[in-house]
Structures are given as structure tokens and as C-alpha cells.
Structure 1
Amino acid sequence: MDSGPPPPTSIGPVPPDPGPIESAAPSLLARALAIVAIVLAGGAGGLIGYAVTDLNCGPDGCSNWAAFGAVVGAIMAAVGVAIVAVLTLRAMGEWKSLELQKQLQADREREADTYGKLLARDPDPSEPGNHP
């Protein structure tokens, strides 16, 4: 049941395995710094909210309203900084992804050029007149 030689599987050397693909996600340090910034902004917003509300209260004080102002200020500041942090981390990830795509495209072009030169130098022995 031998139907002849197997068909050729490749036309040249197999390119080396490029290894694992790098993640385009922001680094752990960048994410940790974003969380620290959000927490600090929440604390600062809480202090500002408390101070503004406490100043608007009379000398008798209104601790419930001051606490409410602190909570609202903390939430507003933390949400605002969180939005900026998320947008920044996404931009960093997209920038890194674009750099990786450019590098991969350059590697592919370089490999294609190298394989093209190798194929041009090595004649195909199956063609007539190319036998040693």
C-alpha cells in the first residue's frame, strides 16, 4: 500500500520558537501605585469634605453632617482618581501592546528576508537540472 514518498512538509528550515508571548497588561508596580493613589486621594477627599462641612456648621457643631461630608468627599475623590488611574493603565497597556506588535512585525520581516535569501541560494533538488 505504499503510494510513494510522503509529500514535502516544509520548504526550508523551521524558525525557532519565539517563546512565550509577553503580556500587555500593566506591571504589578503600576497597578499597586494606582491603588495607593486611589487610597490617598480618598483620604485627602475625606479630610477636605470634613473640613468644609465642619466650617459650614455653627459653633454648636454638627458631627453627623461633618462625617457625612467626609464620606462624600472621600468617595468623590477616590472615584475621580480611580477613573484617571484606569485610563492611564489602559493607555500604558495599549502602548505596550503596540510596541510588541511592531517588534513582532519587524521580526517576521527579518525572518522572511532571511528565508528568502536561503531559498534563493539553495536550488530545489527536485527540479530538473539541479542535481549535484
Structure 2
Amino acid sequence: MLRIAPVTDPAPCFALREEVFMAEQGFTAEEEWDDLDASAEHLLATLDGTPVGTARLLEEDGAGRIGRICVVKAQRGTGLGAALVRAGIERLAAQGHTRITLGAQVRVMGFYEGLGFVAFGPEYDDGGVPHREMELRLKA
């Protein structure tokens, strides 16, 4: 059974980010960890009680922001990533946000476009990986 919910202890979320972003994708600790984690809401996806995905939710420049979205390799392509992003959108919308932003790795922009996000602004480098900002506008 899949469950996606906010957590009060983000340790399992941090472990997933270490596995996916640092061990698998090669980001350094300096690139992965920042002071935003302390004020973020962390979503954890579990499958039969096992952590399989995470995302963090923030407010930035008046918009809701979804970041640090990751899914363990064994669960990619199952719809879990989309469910995680949709859960983040729902939580941010419930807080009154009508604009949701994220920084997407260029190679997976099509995934976010499929969820309604549109790219804006120039491509930028984040840890040696090309990224673009994307946004989703919700009806007020």
C-alpha cells in the first residue's frame, strides 16, 4: 500500500536524498544540504512501510515550491513520482498557493510537463547538472 504524507522527523527523507542525489547522481553534501530543510515540510512516500520517495515543500517569493523530489530506482516508472508531485501540489494549493514552482533537471523536464508544468527562464547549472525553472498555475 502506497502512502504519501508529511513527516515530523525528516530523517527517512534525508536518507532517500543521500541515496538518490548523492550516491547515485553524484551531488556533494554541500550541494544537497541547505538551510531550507529546517523550514520545509517534508513529504515521505512509503510502500508497505518502506520509504521509496520524498519531496520538500516551501514558500518562495509568494509561490509554493516543490523541491528535492526523488524516487528510489526500483520504483521509477511506476507512477510514484507523479503521485508524489501531485501530493505536493495538493498540499500547497490547500495552503492557498495558486502558483507552484520547481527547479527541474533538464533531462526530466518532460515528466513535469506531463503534470502541467511549463518551463521559464534560462537554463542554469546546479551541481554540474543543467536545470530549468518550471511553474504550474492553478485556478484561484
The answer to whether TM tops 0.5 is no
Q: Which has the higher strand share?
A: 2
Report the structure number with the largest CA radius of gyration: 1
TM-score, scaled to structure 1: 0.22
Q: Which has the higher helix share?
A: 1
Question: RCO (CA 8 Å, sep 6+): is it higher in 1 or 2?
Answer: 1
